[in-house]
């Protein structure tokens, strides 16, 4: 691996930094949230989302990994790595959500020309935000056990069932859903991939409040929801294979490495202030723990760089991506937990408005959020199984 930029990469990094410098002031202050801004009641927040979308769209960077013929930038893997690194360093919000990172690449591979023409431009413009309907109460890690049914009725499918953990579905416009179209087929078959307008009659979305008090997750119910058969992506009963395409082309997790280092930098700077010195007991073990977390962010960076170096050579990471995901999710938990322990009893204050709260309870709340990171996108147990069987060649069972 070559850790230094080539002349071309350095020029591209400078260009990315220049566009990021044009971000709205709220986003520069770390207050940006594109999903929540794009349709916000506050006109100023809507304008921030619009301006930032336009700034990225001018460079094709709303979807930097999409081919140019579909409105993306067609960036190389290393250029994608640099772009994401600089966006993470600036805490710049991405645009397009799962429509850009997941659904768009899937439509490019499996969609009809009509589906591409209808949906891809609206994803790039930020007009339509998409969310995923995969997990169910009885089908999480074993997703192929899903039971939501889609029965063909003329030119439509009629869908009944329930999804859970549908992140930000309350802010979305459309959903992409895996549903069982042949209940008698083996569980990885008999599944179809369907697109549906969230406002279709029969769809109801109910909030799930997590233990940090956030409304991020939802449970989604389908009661006799009629979806045109033309909204099926790929062949009937072959949706599992379509759904497995639905992965971000850039799998290095560089955003996690950079964001974690930024959190530790914020902690270090706060501890230098008079308020920080008052809030932290100053135990030697706390200093050692923070130092360990810094080292781990460097380890994470090198995991990320290994993956992107493989992709840049035309290789496809396999167990390496699982190593990166496992290390990153568990590192995030340890950083947040270390941060709360640095502040002793002050670290138990959850209310960010409390004057006694260190760093406005950032690390306390981050820990509560991070608990789910070892479950989402493949549990730590599943990642370890992949590493054991594919990476170490150990037998199953």
**Above 80 in pLDDT, residue 156?**
yes
Q: Look at 159-173, 225-239, 303-317, 352-366 and tell me which has the smallest mean pLDDT.
A: 303-317
How many residues are there in the chain?
Answer: 397
pLDDT digits (tens, 9 = 90+) for 267-307: 999 999 999 988 888 778 888 999 999 999 999 999 999 98
Query: Mean pLDDT throughout 185-198?
Result: 94
**Burial of 381 from C-beta contacts in 10 A (0-12 / 13-18 / 19+):** exposed
Indicate the angle between helix axes 284-312 and 319-342, nearest 10 degrees: 160
pLDDT at 52: 95
**What is the set of domains in the chain, with CATH numbers?**
7-95 (1.10.540), 130-240 (2.40.110.10), 254-391 (1.20.140.10)
Q: Look at 196-200, 222-226, 275-279, 335-339 and tell me which has the smallest mean pLDDT.
A: 275-279
Closest CA to 326 of 395, 262, 382, 369: 382
Report residue 187's pLDDT band, with 50, 70 and 90 as the boundaries. Answer: confident
Report residue 246's pLDDT band, with 50, 70 and 90 as the boundaries. Answer: low
Contact present, 177 and 196 (Cβ < 8 Å): yes
Distance from C-alpha of 66 to C-alpha of 104, rounded to nearest angstrom: 8
Closest CA to 210 of 37, 381, 358, 350: 350
Which of the pair, 15 or 386, is modelled with greater confidence? 15
Contact present, 246 and 105 (Cβ < 8 Å): yes
pLDDT at 318: 83
Q: Which residues touch 294 (CB under 8 Å, ≥6 apart)?
A: 261, 264
Report residue 315's pLDDT band, with 50, 70 and 90 as the boundaries. Answer: confident
- Cα distances from 40 to residues 20, 96, 170, in angstroms, run 22, 15, 13
Give, as one character, the DSSP assignment of residue 111: -
pLDDT digits (tens, 9 = 90+) for 78-99: 999 999 999 999 999 999 999 9
* pLDDT averaged over every residue in the chain: 91
- Cα distances from 190 to residues 117, 255, 285, in angstroms, run 27, 36, 55
pLDDT digits (tens, 9 = 90+) for 49-66: 999 999 999 999 999 999
Burial 148-180 (b: 16+ CB within 10 A, else e): bbbeeeeebbbbbbbbbbbbbbbbbbbbbbbbb
pTM: 0.87
Q: Copy the structure tokens of residue 335.
A: 């950083």
**Start-end of H helices in the chain:** 7-20, 25-28, 34-37, 43-57, 77-89, 97-98, 104-110, 113-125, 239-245, 254-272, 274-279, 284-312, 319-342, 362-370, 380-386
Distance from C-alpha of 118 to C-alpha of 72, rounded to nearest angstrom: 16
Closest CA to 211 of 36, 367, 51: 367
Tokens 């460079």 sit on residue: 59
Query: Mean pLDDT throughout 150-164?
Result: 97
Task: Using only the alpha carbons of the chain, give its radius of gyration.
Answer: 22
Tell me the catalytic residues.
Answer: 250
Report residue 196's pLDDT band, with 50, 70 and 90 as the boundaries. Answer: very high
């Amino acid at each position: 691996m070559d850790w230094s930029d080539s002349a071309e990469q350095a020029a591209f990094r400078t260009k990315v930094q220049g566009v990021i410098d044009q971000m709205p002031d709220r986003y520069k202050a770390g207050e940006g949230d594109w999903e929540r801004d794009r349709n916000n009641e506050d006109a100023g927040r809507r304008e921030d989302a619009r301006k930032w979308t336009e700034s990225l769209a001018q460079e094709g960077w709303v979807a930097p990994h999409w081919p140019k013929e579909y409105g993306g930038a067609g960036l190389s893997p290393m250029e994608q790595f640099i772009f994401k690194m600089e966006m993470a360093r600036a805490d710049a919000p991405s645009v397009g959500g799962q429509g850009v990172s997941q659904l768009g690449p899937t439509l490019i591979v499996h969609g009809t020309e009509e589906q591409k023409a209808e949906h891809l431009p609206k994803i790039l413009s930020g007009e339509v935000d998409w969310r995923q309907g995969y997990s169910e109460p009885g089908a999480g890690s074993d997703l192929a056990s899903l039971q939501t049914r889609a029965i063909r009725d003329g030119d439509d499918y009629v869908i009944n069932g329930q999804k859970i953990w549908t992140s930000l579905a309350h802010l979305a416009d459309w959903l992409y859903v895996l549903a069982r179209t042949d209940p008698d087929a083996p569980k990885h078959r008999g599944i179809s991939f369907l697109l549906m307008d969230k406002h279709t009659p029969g769809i109801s979305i109910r909030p799930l409040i997590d233990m940090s008090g956030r409304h991020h997750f939802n449970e989604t119910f389908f009661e006799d929801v009629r979806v045109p058969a033309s909204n099926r992506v790929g062949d009937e009963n072959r949706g599992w294979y379509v759904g497995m395409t639905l992965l971000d082309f850039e799998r290095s997790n560089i955003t996690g490495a950079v964001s974690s280092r930024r959190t530790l930098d914020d902690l270090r700077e706060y501890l230098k202030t008079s308020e920080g010195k008052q809030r932290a007991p100053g135990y030697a073990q706390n200093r050692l723990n923070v130092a360990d977390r810094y080292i781990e962010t460097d380890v994470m960076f090198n995991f990320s760089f290994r993956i992107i170096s493989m992709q840049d050579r035309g290789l496809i990471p396999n167990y390496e991506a699982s190593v990166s995901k496992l290390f990153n999710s568990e590192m995030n938990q340890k950083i947040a937990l270390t941060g709360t322990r640095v502040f002793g009893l002050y670290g138990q204050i959850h209310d960010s408005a409390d004057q006694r709260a260190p760093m406005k309870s950032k690390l306390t709340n981050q820990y509560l959020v991070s608990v789910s990171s070892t479950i989402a996108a493949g549990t730590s147990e599943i990642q370890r199984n992949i590493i054991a069987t594919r990476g170490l060649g150990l037998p199953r069972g």
